[in-house]
Chain A
Amino acid sequence: MSDSILTLEGVYTNIAQYHILQGVDLVVPRGGVTMLLGRNGVGKTTTLRTVIGHWRAHQGRILFDGEDITKMPTPAIARLGLGFVPEDMGIFADLTVEENMTLAAVSGPINSGRLDWIFTAFPPLKTFWKSDAGTLSGGQKQMLSIARAMVEERKLYLIDEPTKGLAPAIISTMAKALKDLKNQGSSVLLVEQNFAVAKALGDSANVMDDGRMIWAGEMDELSRDAALQERLMGLSMETH
């Protein structure tokens, strides 16, 4: 399938004795933002972590850009062109903002044009360029986490709840940056609980429950149908 950048086929992932993913099927099209939705604890984060190789699929297959990455080590998967923004942001607190960014530029020095774009999207990063990342606020850390993934062009960005616990003003900064990324033609797989953000950014949507994919379709279709949301996610997200 040439139009999909990432495909999961019947993926099962166990964490200790818990069977978290129980046959996940997911197709992420090339270009645009694909939403991964669902209630808490249904396996969204585990799905992303299985793709990047932090958890291992016990069964099933994961294809990235036509290549089977199911058993590949994490660094090799990342180098194929995957940018990962984990739920806990994964900031290196003991390193400065600059060092965090330098490290993220795996293939060499940071491209200055790209850095300008990042500074425009996230001005605080320029202000605190030489500061320890550990001293940043929660929102600034999240900006750094996303900026780190954006510092080099990737084929696919896996972003886990970028607006979690952030103030509304910062959420809109975040949403705008993600929109920029989308307008550049990047592919993004986004886990997001904020439905307004999901609605504004998402092209297609996938809903999980109990370690399986229970619905896949256009984001528009889901956001227009409150009854469907209620059925899939147990509550109408419009009220949130």
Chain B
Amino acid sequence: MNWWCAATGEAWSWGWKAYPGVWLFIAALGYGWYRSVQRGPAPPSRAQRAWFAVGLFLLWLALDWPIGALGAGYLASVHTVSYILLSLVAPPCLILGVPTGAVLSALDRPLLGKLIRLAARPAFSLAVFTAILCLTHVPSIVDGLMGSQVGAFLVDIAWLGAGLCLWWPVMAPQPEVSTLRRPLKMAYLFASTLPAIVPSAFLTFAEYPLYATYELAPRVFSILTAQEDQKVAGLLMKVVGDLPVWFAFGVIFFRWSRSSQGTPPPVHPGEMRRGTA
């Protein structure tokens, strides 16, 4: 039995497979959240619990069978779906699920506090996100890592870490951790859509399949060639991958325009802990 989804070279089967490492990872995150909110000054609201649960569910969806298994060893397009879930969709949900009190109490810890403040710097977070995004799409790195469970695990964790970094400057408690104002948040979000242009262009326009992992994988759908699968992956990365960012951009813009008109914006679970921005 495998503990994490990795490329095996075996023919794909629609029969369910267990990946206990994924369950342990999700359980560990849930337990970590539970412990941190217990230590915090106030219990999490119902909305925060719901957001964290949604975040964990999305992580599980991205990492477990079938998406995790298909993405790790069979289809580049599904690998991109995993990337979108792990880096762009699940992290904001997880962040929304952490009460401000828990974040503020974590600031007191020397190493964690430093990391939380560092990740709130847009330049740092964008650099980390860009570096991880680009490195984890380099063919030799993908082919080198996806064949082993440890390698595939590292890629998944790197994507989750990159996503948390990406979203933190926009969603961190204000003004205690982040001081980014709304126009700058929008500029930051716009900038965060740019790095994906490079890997998605390579995926979409490459003359031949870039990754041996997916080119030589047993076919899942006979109608989808390795090249077409790669093109779909490239398009998904840019078109679908940008949607969560543009959604957040729209929400911030809407609130900013409402606040500048003097109308108080509606309270959103994500902004319950924020001051004015």
Whether A associates with B in a native complex is: no
Q: A interface vs B, CB < 8 Å?
A: none
